[in-house]
């Protein structure tokens, strides 16, 4: 169980729709400081927020930020990118770039901050996944979220001995800039972040932060041809 009272929180992708709420709601729940990181950090009106430049795909950038944030007790891996298209038509370079940001960068951050968190009694990590970790659609993005989900499950086991809580957070379409062009029902990012933080402070290992995520998770035991019938997958 992790309390945000007096916590020092580091948020990646802090400029985005979810990231802003991770920063603001951490402070509302009593965090002492929030490192708001992004490739191009914005300014904040609260002295408790420390904006820092961070490119999660760049080891030198991670090392630079790590050197400035040794008091971190909660790491939130929220940064992510999407380039719409199919796996068959997306260039190998773009596939690698999406995996670098959505999977390998967060893993590198966990590797970097695990000793820091251990030094503060364990702390916590929130890895932001997606309902698409459980149900794939055409394109690269959902495959990265499935990969990140698998990595989180392994990291949770590896970090248990040092007392680090690892929370995997899953959500459906949420009203953020990443999906602003999609004409689909979207959840409120305020509600999603509130649910994730509530689960963190309750000691949960996984947060199914909205109905779409809960439904996708519940469908995992169904046969593939039933889950993907609408995409043309049929029984043998």
* Residue 2 falls inside a structural domain: no
C-alpha 147, offset from chain centre: 12
Question: What is the number of structural domains in the chain?
Answer: 1
pLDDT attached to residue 231: 86
* Residue 236 falls inside a structural domain: no
Average pLDDT over residues 7-32: 96
pLDDT attached to residue 123: 98
pLDDT attached to residue 233: 84
What pLDDT band is residue 17 in, cutting at 50, 70 and 90? confident
pLDDT attached to residue 148: 98
What are the residue ranges of helices labelled H in the chain?
A: 17-28, 59-68, 92-99, 105-119, 141-159, 189-201, 211-218, 224-227
| 159/117 Cα distance (integer angstroms) | 10
* Residue 1 falls inside a structural domain: no
Sheet holding 124-128, edge to edge: 49-53, 33-38, 8-11, 74-77, 124-128, 165-170, 206-208
pLDDT attached to residue 23: 98
Domain CATH code at residue 159: 3.40.50.720
What pLDDT band is residue 232 in, cutting at 50, 70 and 90? confident
* Residue 194 falls inside a structural domain: yes
Q: What is the pTM of this model?
A: 0.93
Query: CA-based angle 128:101:136, to the nearest 5?
Result: 60
* Residue 196 falls inside a structural domain: yes
pLDDT attached to residue 166: 98
What are the tens digits of pLDDT across the range 190-230? Answer: 999 999 999 999 999 999 999 999 999 999 999 999 999 88
* Residue 16 falls inside a structural domain: yes
What range does the domain containing 138 cover? 8-231
What are the tens digits of pLDDT across the range 140-198? Answer: 999 999 999 999 999 999 999 999 999 999 998 665 565 555 555 556 889 999 999 99
* Residue 33 falls inside a structural domain: yes
213-230 burial: b if 16+ Cβ within 10 Å, else e: beebbeeeeeeeeebeee
What are the tens digits of pLDDT across the range 63-111? Answer: 999 999 999 999 999 999 988 889 999 999 999 999 999 999 999 999 9
């Amino acid at each position: 169980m992790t309390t945000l009272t007096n916590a020092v929180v580091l948020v990646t992708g802090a400029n985005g729709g979810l990231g802003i709420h991770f920063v603001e709601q951490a402070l509302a729940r009593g965090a002492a400081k929030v490192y708001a990181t992004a490739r191009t950090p914005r300014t904040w009106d609260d002295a408790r927020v420390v904006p820092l430049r961070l490119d999660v795909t760049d080891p030198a950038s991670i090392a630079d930020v790590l050197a400035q944030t040794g008091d971190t007790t909660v790491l939130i891996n929220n940064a992510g990118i999407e380039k719409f298209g199919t796996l068959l038509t997306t260039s190998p370079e773009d596939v690698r770039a999406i995996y670098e940001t959505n999977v390998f960068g967060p893993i590198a951050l966990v590797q970097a901050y695990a000793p820091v968190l251990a030094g503060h009694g364990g702390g916590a990590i929130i890895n932001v996944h997606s309902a698409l970790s459980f149900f794939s659609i055409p394109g690269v993005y959902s495959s990265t979220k499935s990969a990140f989900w698998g990595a989180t499950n392994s990291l949770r086991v590896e970090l248990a001995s040092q007392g680090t809580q690892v929370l995997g957070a899953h959500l459906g379409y949420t009203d953020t800039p990443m999906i602003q062009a999609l004409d689909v029902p979207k959840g409120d990012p305020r509600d999603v972040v509130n649910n994730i933080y509530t689960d963190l402070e309750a000691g949960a290992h996984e947060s199914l932060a909205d109905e779409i995520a809960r439904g996708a998770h519940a469908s995992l035991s169904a046969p593939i041809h039933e889950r993907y019938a609408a995409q043309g997958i049929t029984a043998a």
